[in-house]
Structures are given as C-alpha cells and as structure tokens.
Amino acid sequence: MEELPGRKSEKTAATEALVKIRGLAKSYRRGDQVVPVLSDISLDIMPGDFTALMGPSGSGKSTLLNLIAGIDKPDSGELRVAGIDITALGESELADWRAANVGFIFQFYNLMPVLTAFENVELPLMLTGLSRSERRARVELTLDAVGLSDRLQHYPNELSGGQQQRVAIARAIVTDPTLLVADEPTGDLDRVSAADVLAMMQRLNAELGKTIIMVTHDANAAHAARKIIHLDKGEILAQPGDKGEILPEPPS
Amino acid sequence: MASATAIPLSYVARNLWTRRLTTALTAGGLALVVWVFATVLMLDAGLKQTLVTTGEHDNIVAIRRGSETEIQSGISRTQANIIASHPAVALGTDGERMVSKETVVLISLKKTGAGKPSNVIIRGVSAKGMTLRPQIRLAQGRPFRPGSAEIMVGSSIARGFEGTAVGDTLHFAQRDWTVSGHFDAGGSGFDSEIWGDADQLMQAFRRIGYSSMVVRLADAGDATLEQLRGDINADPRLTNEIKREQVFYSDQSRALSTFITILGLTLTAIFSIGAMIGAMITMYASVSSRVAEIGTLRALGFRRSGVLYAFMAESLLLGLAGGLIGLAFASLMQFASFSTTNFQTFADL
Ligand SMILES: Nc1ncnc2c1ncn2[C@@H]1O[C@H](COP(=O)(O)OP(=O)(O)O)[C@@H](O)[C@H]1O
Ligand SMILES: [Mg+2]
C-alpha cells in the first residue's frame, strides 16, 4: 500500500456523491466456472473529482470502470450516477444514458479509421438533436480546445498517437458529459504525449470542473489525478478511516 | 431524441470503399446473378416479341393434324384446294383467294466469317405469300419472279450468310438460285428465312405435297375460325388442323421458351446461392474485423439497433451496387442479338 503525503479528502456532507457505489459485485462465467472479479466494492466519487483507479493487471479496474460507465452490469449491489440507478435501466435506455452522460477515452483511442478527425468528434453529436451547423460549431470549438484546429480533415492514420488521443478526448467531451471515464489513456503513448494528455485532463478537471475517473497502472499517470483508489484482486485496499482513498501531492 | 439511424451513411459507404477489393468481388458476384437473370428474361421476352410479330391475327395456318412444325407437316394438293375454296377465305382486291400454299425445307448454309454451316429455312410461297404478311417489306432488289429459280433472303440471312448479296447465286437442290432481293420482316421469324416460288422449290426438292398453307380469313372473328375448323374436322378427306398464325408460331417455340426459362432460372439459382454465400462471408468478415469499432459505437451511446442498421445499410449498399452493375451489363446485352426465331434455326444461337 502506497503512502503519499498530503491532505485527507474533505467529505462535505452537503454535497451529494456523483457516483455512489455500495456492495457492488461482479463475476464472469468461464465455462461452468464462476470467476469473481469484483467483490463488495463501496465508494463515492464527488462531482469535480479527478480519481485514478490503480492496481495490478487483472485486479478488476476496467471492470469497475465499465460498470460505472454503464457498459456492463453488476451481479449485485447499488450503483447510482447522479442519483440514477443505472443498474435498473434497459439496454436502449442505458445506451441513451451513456450518450447523454458519459464520455469515453480508451487506451487505443478507438477512433473510426474511415472518418476524419472532424467526423469522429461529430459522431456522438449525431445522437443529439443538434442541427448540422450547431454540430459543426461545437466540433470546431472542441477540436480547437485540444489544439487540433488545423487537423480537422485528417484521418486517424494521418495523426500521431498523441494527436489521435486528443481527437478521442475531443470526442469524449463534445457532448459535455457529466462523467469522463478513461481506461489507460496514456498506456499507448510516449512520455511527451502522455504528459500532454494528462495535462489536458487536468485542465478539463480544473477549468471546466469535469468529473474524471481514470484507470491506470502507471504511478506517474496516477499522480495527475487528485485522488487515487487502489484495487487488488477485486477489492479496494482499505485505508484506515479513508476507504482507501489517498490524495496525491497537488500538481506542482 | 436519439435516433436509431444516427450512424452516418458516410461511415457505411467508406467502410465499403476501404475494403474495395472485397466489395468489388462481392458486388461482382451479385452482379453476375442479376445479369444472368435479366439476360434470361430479355431472351425470353425477345423470343415472345419475335413470335408475336411473326403472325397476323386474321391469318390462319393449316398443317397436318398432330404435327408440331411446318417441317413435319404435309398437306396434299387436294386438301389445299378444298381449304382454299372454303367461303371463310378472304378474297383479294384482284378477286383471287387470299391463300398461300407453302413448302418448307431446311437446308444447310455457310455462315459468314466462321464459315460454319447452319440450318436455314427455305420457304416456297404462292403469289399471295408476301401480301399475306404485310410486315414484310422489300429492302433491296426486287421480289423473286414466280416460275423462276429466283429467291429472296430475309435480313438476318443477308447479314449472316455467305453468297446472299443481291445478284449472287446459291447452290442447293442440284440447282443454282439467283438472289433477286432482300426483304425485311420487321424482326419477325421470317427474317431468318429464304423465300422462293413454291412450285419451283417443290420440283427441285422432289416434293409432291405442300408443308402448310396460310389463309387470310374474310372475318377475323372467332366465329369464322370455328366454322372453318368445324368444316375441316367434318370433311373425311381433310386430315388438317388450323391455328391462328400467331398462336401457331408461339406454340412452336414454347418449348424453346420453356427451355430458356428453366435453364436461366437454374443458372440464376446456382449463382445466387454462390453470391449469397459470398456476401455472407464478406459481411461476416466486415463485422468480425470491426468488433472493437462496434464496441466503441455502443460505448458512445449508439443503440444495438443503430449499429445493426449501419451493417444492414452496408449490405444493402453492397447489394445495390451489385444489382446496378448487373443491370448495366444486362442492358448492354440488347446490342447482342440472336436469331432464336424458331425451333428450326435454334442452331443459330
Ligand atoms: N468479458 C470477460 N469475460 C471473462 N472474464 C473477464 C472479462 N473481462 C474481464 N475478465 C476477467 O476479469 C478480471 C479483471 O479484468 P479487468 O477488469 O480487465 O482487469 P484490469 O483492467 O484491472 O487489468 C481478469 O481476470 C479478466 O480475465
Ligand atoms: Mg484494464
């Protein structure tokens, strides 16, 4: 268990948790064998938090993230996002909920190779009622914010890894979601691009107040967050009186 | 708000374009099916068209009862005269009976170019033979002179066989026949025939009786036809049956039409099974190579149905491309023409 000097997180009772998890469990079935992945997870993520989810490979980080983001369903336990019990939503309702509330950033960017940077960022806006010109304005603004206003018509294979991840970030935030989730967003990037992406996420958190949950096994990346949750073998490592949450050093 | 068809068509189309070789091969397979099917329909429709224009509604053909073609048929001179004198037969402006007693013989002629011999119908007609077929027009030269060794050739024959220019001579039945002119039968079966004087041809081919006779009815109504038919059946000297000319030619080639249709449908069925399997493999590969993309689309909030629509659209687009290519090639087929005009000349095909 890692000890980092720093303040303890203040829990203000007045603020409602954005993500509230109680006794969450998830197992996968492999053949006739049931493999438990998460057991009895409880945690709160407050609005405006930038949380890193750390742990060794196979500890269930991605599984937990996918549950929170509503692309997987838990076996049991309570899971509320912004007060909504997302475990109770049906297939299509959940898809609509994701479109409106969650922005995804993946390790391998997951851009559509046949679409330009502009079209990739526009894709989630297709699910909104925005007009063509409104979409165009939003996409241009967002790509400008990630520093790619001169790459609108480039296809993913014409962009560097760092640039592709910035397109992916633009795609994640273009709908202005409540929650940003990132699974190893720097896992496939060189140091400089990784620092770039992390700085961008810090800015999204600090300046726009975005709530971010980031899975990483890289301690450097985790330090960009404001809180770290350690996961091991499907359980949150308990910190006395602190549910395992530790504040890293404030970014210098 | 969230629409199920939100995945843009550009995504669908560009995915097809990205895998353009596979797309082209799959669309090509589908195109082949459409092409075969459309070509068969065209052949069949062309055949029917030819047959209908071959006959006149108020003409009837008399043949020996039970024979299917004019080649097999025979009518004696006596029988021909009895039928010709029936009151149902129309009179021409010259007061003569509108009747053509005809003899039909198959000979083998050399085609131009390849020089391969092919079967051709020689039809000996009476003086009224051309008048009875108003769709026949003189295209070049002049009609054959009755009582002479002159012949006229139809436009398909003039185009496809050696020694058929006006003034040329053709040798058959131990005689030389001079081509006096070309006629155009408006795409009907007569275009693939050679016409001459019935009596001259019968002498040359040593025939005693006619093959068939064509009669113009005084009245095109069914009542007149039935009356003539009844009288023919009642007369013990007559062993003939009559049909309207149009019915006669379409009956004659019904077997060919059925053959083309069955052959075509069989080919179409075989090819379409192949093309379907091809399209299935293509679409399966398309889906399985994009599992990650599908996952991303789902994560972004596209519904299952939306993703399904995108892949459906992709396969429909593929099918549409194949169909259009197939139709484009099939429509080129209209420039290819076969003289499949009747059963006897099927060798032309
Ligand atoms: N879809 C799945 N089916 C079966 N087992 C799975 C599935 N997803 C993850 N697992 C298993 O769950 C465990 C945790 O996986 P994951 O959450 O991806 O770990 P992490 O992201 O921390 O590396 C692993 O042992 C993995 O094999
Ligand atoms: Mg993982």
The token pair at B2 is: 């969230």
Check: CB of residue B212 under 8 Å from CB of residue B80. Answer: no
* Contact yes or no for A127 and B15 at CB 8 A: no
Q: What is the pLDDT of residues B107-151, one digit of tens each?
A: 988 888 777 788 899 999 999 998 899 888 999 999 999 999 999
- Cα–Cα distances (Å) from B277 to A52, A196, B270, B280, in that order, read 49, 49, 11, 5
The token pair at B221 is: 């109504």
pLDDT at B283 over 60: yes
Output B4 or B329, whichever has higher pLDDT.
B329
The letter for the amino acid at B326 is: G
Check: CB of residue A25 under 8 Å from CB of residue A36. Answer: yes
pLDDT at A130 over 50: yes
Architecture of the domain defined by A46-71+91-243: 3-Layer(aba) Sandwich (3.40)
Q: How far is residue A64's CA from residue B328's CA, in Å, rounded to a whole number?
A: 55
Q: Is B84 exposed, middle or buried (0-12, 13-18, 19+ CB in 10 A)?
A: middle
Residue B169 C-alpha to ligand 2 middle, in angstroms? 92
Q: Is B134 exposed, middle or buried (0-12, 13-18, 19+ CB in 10 A)?
A: exposed
Residue A57 C-alpha to ligand 2 middle, in angstroms? 7
B7 in contact with chain A, both atoms CB, cutoff 8 A: yes
CB-closest option in B2, B10, B296 to A127: B2
Q: What is the pLDDT of residues A194-207, one digit of tens each?
A: 999 999 999 999 99
- In which band, very low, low, confident or very high, does the pLDDT at A234 lie, cut at 50, 70 and 90? confident
Calculate mean pLDDT across residues B217-229: 89
pLDDT at B4 over 90: no
Q: What is the pLDDT of residues B18-39, one digit of tens each?
A: 889 989 998 998 898 888 888 8
CB-closest option in A96, A104, A171 to B2: A96
- E strand or H helix at B176, and its extent? strand B175-184
Pairing of strands A227-232, A235-236: antiparallel
The token pair at A71 is: 């692309």
Q: How far is B1 from chain A (nearest CA, A)?
A: 6
pLDDT at A75 over 80: yes
Which of B48, B70, B49, B170 has its CA nearest to residue B125? B70
Chain B segment 12-31 residues within 8 A of A by beta carbon are 14-15, 17-18
Residue A227: per-residue pLDDT = 93
Which of B127, B178, B119, B126 has its CA nearest to residue B150? B178
Pairing of strands A19-30, A33-45: antiparallel
Q: For chain B, give every domain's residue range.
A: 9-51+256-335, 57-245
pLDDT at A243 over 50: no
- In which band, very low, low, confident or very high, does the pLDDT at A151 lie, cut at 50, 70 and 90? very high
Q: Is B6 exposed, middle or buried (0-12, 13-18, 19+ CB in 10 A)?
A: buried
Residue B142: per-residue pLDDT = 93
Give me the residues paired with residue A44 across strands: A20
Q: How far is residue B117's CA from residue B105's CA, in Å, rounded to a whole number?
A: 16
Q: Rounding to the nearest 10 degrees, give the CA dihedral for residues B208, B214, B216, B220.
A: 140
pLDDT at A252 over 50: no
| Collapsed DSSP state (helix, strand, coil) of residue A248 | coil
- Residue B254, phi-psi category: left (phi > 0), alpha (psi -120 to 50), beta (remainder): alpha
Across chain A, what does the average pLDDT equal?
A: 89
Does A230 contact ligand 1 (Cβ within 6 A)? Answer: no
Q: How far is residue B101's CA from residue B105's CA, in Å, rounded to a whole number?
A: 14
Residue B42: per-residue pLDDT = 82
The token pair at B146 is: 């009755």
Counting residues of chain B whose pLDDT is more than 90, the rounded percentage is 44
Check: CB of residue A120 under 8 Å from CB of residue B1. Answer: no
pLDDT at B1 over 50: no
Output A88 or B40, whichever has higher pLDDT.
A88
* A242 Cβ contact partners less than 8 Å away, ≥ 6 residues apart: A8, A9
Residue A246: per-residue pLDDT = 52
B284 in contact with chain A, both atoms CB, cutoff 8 A: no
- Residue B59, phi-psi category: left (phi > 0), alpha (psi -120 to 50), beta (remainder): beta
Which range scores top for mean pLDDT: A9-23, A227-241, B326-340?
A227-241
The token pair at A27 is: 């197992």
- In which band, very low, low, confident or very high, does the pLDDT at B246 lie, cut at 50, 70 and 90? confident
Q: Which residue has the tokens 């051309």?
A: B130
Check: CB of residue B22 under 8 Å from CB of residue B322. Answer: no
Residue A79: per-residue pLDDT = 96
Residue A238: per-residue pLDDT = 60
pLDDT at A85 over 50: yes
Q: What is the pLDDT of residues A5-63, one digit of tens each?
A: 444 444 444 578 999 999 999 999 988 899 999 999 999 999 999 999 999 999 999 99
Check: CB of residue B202 under 8 Å from CB of residue B103. Answer: yes
Protein residue whose Cα sits closest to atom 2 of ligand 1 = A28
Terminal CA-CA length for chain A:
23
Residue by residue, DSSP assigns A180-246 as: EEEESTTTTS-HHHHHHHHHHHHHHHHHH--EEEEE-S-HHHHTTSSEEEEEETTEEPP-TTTTTEE
Q: Rounding to the nearest 10 degrees, give the CA dihedral for residues A59, A204, A152, B11.
A: 40
Which residues in chain A touch residue B15, judged by CB atoms under 8 angstroms apart? 114
* A192 Cβ contact partners less than 8 Å away, ≥ 6 residues apart: A162
Chains A and B form CB pairs within 8 A to the count of 72
Which of A156, A147, A215, A128 has its CA nearest to residue A180? A215
Q: Which residue has the tokens 């770039």?
A: A196
Residue A240: per-residue pLDDT = 40
Residue A196: per-residue pLDDT = 93
Check: CB of residue B90 under 8 Å from CB of residue B131. Answer: no
Q: What is the pLDDT of residues B66-79, one digit of tens each?
A: 887 888 889 999 99
pLDDT at B252 over 80: no
Across chain B, what does the average pLDDT equal?
A: 86
- In which band, very low, low, confident or very high, does the pLDDT at B156 lie, cut at 50, 70 and 90? confident
Q: How far is residue B339's CA from residue A116's CA, in Å, rounded to a whole number?
A: 56
- Please work out, in degrees rounded to the nearest 5, the angle formed at the alpha carbon of residue A79 by the alpha carbons of A183 and A58: 35
Which of the ligands is closest to the CA of residue A187?
2
Spacing of C-alpha B261 from chain mean position: 12
Output A121 or B345, whichever has higher pLDDT.
A121
Residue A176: per-residue pLDDT = 94
pLDDT at B311 over 60: yes
pLDDT at A208 over 60: yes
* Contact yes or no for A69 and B299 at CB 8 A: yes
Pairing of strands B99-110, B212-216: antiparallel
Residue B348: per-residue pLDDT = 43
Check: CB of residue B52 under 8 Å from CB of residue B342. Answer: no
